[in-house]
């Protein structure tokens, strides 16, 4: 009897060899219940939220956008915070986890609002676009503490790739047994790692298991969405004097693609994430490159070189009164960098630069530009950089760059190879981004 017990123990001990299998039904049930409760709250928010006029903002917006064939819903975080602080906190701290729940709830709400549909068509998935009135975060201050959280940055788009198709769910097939299965893909710039072995078990004792790395991708059966990669340069007013502007990659998908072009100033809200760069050292597996997964845009200008120039009637009246002042020239010169004493001739030159000259077109069609160029030469410590920063801050479109980190070609345009597609594309420099405005180049002799 003792021998039989020992033999039985040896046979059963193989089940726990190498790893321990266990289940916690209580924790799994609580997690599933919490996710269901969040989805229900978002569903109720879309259906029940009203503004101060009693209008169902998001319910009407969702129905209108769906009927127009634009399957997206724009949500203001201030409205969500007024409805439920817990939902807003969850979305700000764990957007990658809760955003799919928001989109699922929006899809369920669209299903209820648009039913019945023609030909019993299935409901289309809804994309959530976020907006917020909060102050933007400086790009240079984003660090490891912001990874995985919702952030808002402001800057200038300096490059944009062509729209490509990115798979959201792969269909993979074992080349040995022809078994197919679905495999999810990470959102943003993240990829997917295919399983190393096939899950199918041998049916007969003589049958061998599938070899390692058996899966191939069936491209025709994968689910894809549009994706675009952009590069954002931090806003010039946030760059310290003498420093170079910093950049961050943006990843936009679905309806957020082709919304901005290089040279546009915008405020971007998204998830601060990290990805493995192909350019880096393969040995440094723990080093990741940051990027922003875009969840919403707020454009500050309509296009390259086109800033908002809408004035109120009160401002127009003030401009007319100022033009009638006989000493307006002196007042303008005194307003140029008032913190700097003296340098009246330099301030007059900067004032002429800001206002510009008159463009002339000769009878033969030749066009004479009226732009004014200023070159400041002087000893160190004579406020040359401060005058440059003032002109860049006052101008509606101003780009500040330093000669330390850019070449003559980099000021106009540079050829860059995309790390993903290995294709070349042009990236606009300071002269391109300042089209219609002022470009300030510090340390021009470098």
The whole-angstrom separation of Cα 209 and Cα 200 is 8
Q: 388 pLDDT exceeds 50?
A: yes
Confidence tier at 22 by pLDDT (50, 70, 90) = very low
Alpha helices in 217-343 (DSSP H): 313-323, 328-335
What is the token pair recorded at 115? 């039913």
Confidence tier at 422 by pLDDT (50, 70, 90) = low
Alpha helices in 309-401 (DSSP H): 313-323, 328-335, 344-355, 384-394
The whole-angstrom separation of Cα 143 and Cα 274 is 11
Q: Taking the model in full, what pTM does it have?
A: 0.66
Confidence tier at 18 by pLDDT (50, 70, 90) = very low
What pLDDT, on the 0 to 100 scale, is given for residue 378? Answer: 86
What is the token pair recorded at 37? 């409760």
Is the alpha carbon torsion for 10, 12, 18, 19 positive or negative? negative
Half-sphere exposure of 340 (CA within 13 A, CB side): 20
Residue 254 DSSP SS3:
helix
Q: 429 pLDDT exceeds 80?
A: no
**Which H or E element spans position 288?**
none
Q: 17 pLDDT exceeds 70?
A: no
What pLDDT, on the 0 to 100 scale, is given for residue 420? Answer: 57
- Across 29-46, average pLDDT: 75
The whole-angstrom separation of Cα 87 and Cα 73 is 17
Phi, psi of 224 (to 5 degrees): -130, 155
Q: 440 pLDDT exceeds 80?
A: yes
What pLDDT, on the 0 to 100 scale, is given for residue 407? Answer: 58
Question: What number of residues does the chain have?
Answer: 446
Cβ contacts of 184 within 8 Å, gap of 6 or more: 168, 169, 170, 192
Confidence tier at 114 by pLDDT (50, 70, 90) = confident
What pLDDT, on the 0 to 100 scale, is given for residue 283? Answer: 47
- Across 38-66, average pLDDT: 86
Q: 69 pLDDT exceeds 50?
A: yes
Q: 25 pLDDT exceeds 60?
A: no
- Across 194-200, average pLDDT: 82
Task: Report which of residues 130 and 401 the model is more confident about.
Answer: 130
What pLDDT, on the 0 to 100 scale, is given for residue 12? Answer: 41
Cβ contacts of 197 within 8 Å, gap of 6 or more: 209, 210, 212, 213, 214
What pLDDT, on the 0 to 100 scale, is given for residue 19? Answer: 46
Confidence tier at 210 by pLDDT (50, 70, 90) = confident
What pLDDT, on the 0 to 100 scale, is given for residue 116? Answer: 79
Confidence tier at 11 by pLDDT (50, 70, 90) = very low
Residue 316 DSSP SS3:
helix
Alpha helices in 122-212 (DSSP H): none
Per the CB < 8 A criterion, the answer to whether 396 and 307 are in contact is yes
What pLDDT, on the 0 to 100 scale, is given for residue 6? Answer: 44
Q: 409 pLDDT exceeds 60?
A: no
Phi, psi of 2 (to 5 degrees): -65, -35
Task: Report which of residues 119 and 142 the model is more confident about.
Answer: 142
What pLDDT, on the 0 to 100 scale, is given for residue 302? Answer: 43
- Across 244-248, average pLDDT: 82
Cβ contacts of 15 within 8 Å, gap of 6 or more: 21
- Across 178-199, average pLDDT: 81
Least confident of 118-127, 202-211, 325-334: 202-211
Task: Report which of residues 151 and 52 the model is more confident about.
Answer: 151
What is the token pair recorded at 282? 């393969």
What pLDDT, on the 0 to 100 scale, is given for residue 410? Answer: 63
pLDDT in tens, 374-384: 888 888 888 88
The whole-angstrom separation of Cα 320 and Cα 226 is 50
What is the token pair recorded at 82? 């007024």
pLDDT in tens, 127-162: 889 988 888 888 888 888 888 889 999 888 888 888
User: What is the percentage of the chain residues whose pLDDT exceeds 70?
Assistant: 83
Q: 360 pLDDT exceeds 80?
A: yes
Residue labelled with tokens 């969500």 = 80
User: What is the percentage of the chain residues whose pLDDT exceeds 90?
Assistant: 2
Task: Give whichever of 51-55, 118-122, 242-246, 294-298 has the largest mean pLDDT.
Answer: 294-298
Phi, psi of 169 (to 5 degrees): -150, 125
The whole-angstrom separation of Cα 378 and Cα 384 is 8
């Amino acid at each position: 009897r003792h021998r039989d017990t020992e033999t039985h123990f040896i046979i059963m001990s193989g089940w726990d060899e190498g790893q321990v299998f266990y289940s916690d039904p209580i924790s799994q049930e609580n997690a599933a219940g919490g996710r269901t409760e969040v989805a229900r709250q978002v569903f109720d928010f879309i259906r029940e939220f009203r503004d101060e006029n009693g209008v169902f903002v998001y319910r009407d917006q969702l129905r209108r956008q769906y009927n127009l064939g634009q399957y997206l819903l724009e949500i203001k975080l201030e409205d969500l915070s007024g409805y439920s602080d817990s939902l807003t906190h969850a979305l700000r701290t764990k957007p990658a986890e809760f955003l799919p729940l928001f989109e699922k709830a929006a899809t369920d709400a669209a299903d209820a609002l648009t039913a019945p549909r023609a030909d019993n068509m299935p409901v289309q998935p809804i994309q959530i676009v976020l907006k917020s009135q909060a102050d933007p975060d400086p790009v240079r201050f984003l660090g490891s503490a912001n990874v995985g959280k919702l952030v808002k940055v402001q800057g200038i788009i300096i490059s944009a790739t062509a729209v490509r198709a990115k798979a959201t769910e792969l269909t993979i097939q074992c080349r040995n047994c022809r078994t197919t299965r679905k495999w999810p893909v990470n959102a943003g710039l993240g990829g997917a790692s295919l399983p190393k072995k096939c899950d199918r078990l041998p049916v007969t004792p003589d049958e061998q298991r599938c070899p390692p790395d058996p899966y191939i991708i069936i491209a025709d059966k994968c689910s894809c969405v549009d994706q675009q990669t952009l590069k954002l340069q931090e806003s010039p007013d946030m760059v310290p004097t003498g420093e170079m502007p910093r950049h961050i990659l943006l990843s936009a998908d679905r309806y957020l693609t082709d919304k901005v072009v290089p040279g546009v100033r915008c405020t971007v809200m998204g998830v601060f994430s990290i990805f493995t760069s192909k350019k880096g050292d393969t040995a440094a597996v723990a080093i990741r490159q940051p990027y922003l997964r875009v969840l919403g845009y707020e454009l500050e200008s309509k296009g390259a070189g086109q800033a908002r120039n809408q004035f109120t009637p009160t401002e127009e009246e003030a401009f007319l009164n100022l033009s009638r002042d006989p000493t307006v020239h002196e007042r303008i010169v005194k307003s140029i960098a008032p913190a700097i004493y003296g340098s009246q001739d330099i301030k007059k030159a900067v004032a002429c630069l800001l206002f510009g000259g008159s463009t002339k077109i000769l009878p033969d069609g030749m066009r004479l530009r009226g732009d004014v160029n200023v070159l400041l030469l002087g000893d160190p410590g004579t406020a040359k950089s401060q005058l440059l920063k003032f002109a860049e801050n006052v101008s509606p479109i101003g780009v500040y760059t330093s000669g330390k980190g850019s070449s003559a070609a980099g000021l106009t345009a540079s050829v860059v190879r995309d790390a993903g597609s290995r294709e070349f594309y042009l990236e606009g420099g300071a002269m391109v981004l300042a089209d219609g405005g002022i470009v300030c180049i510090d340390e021009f002799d470098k």
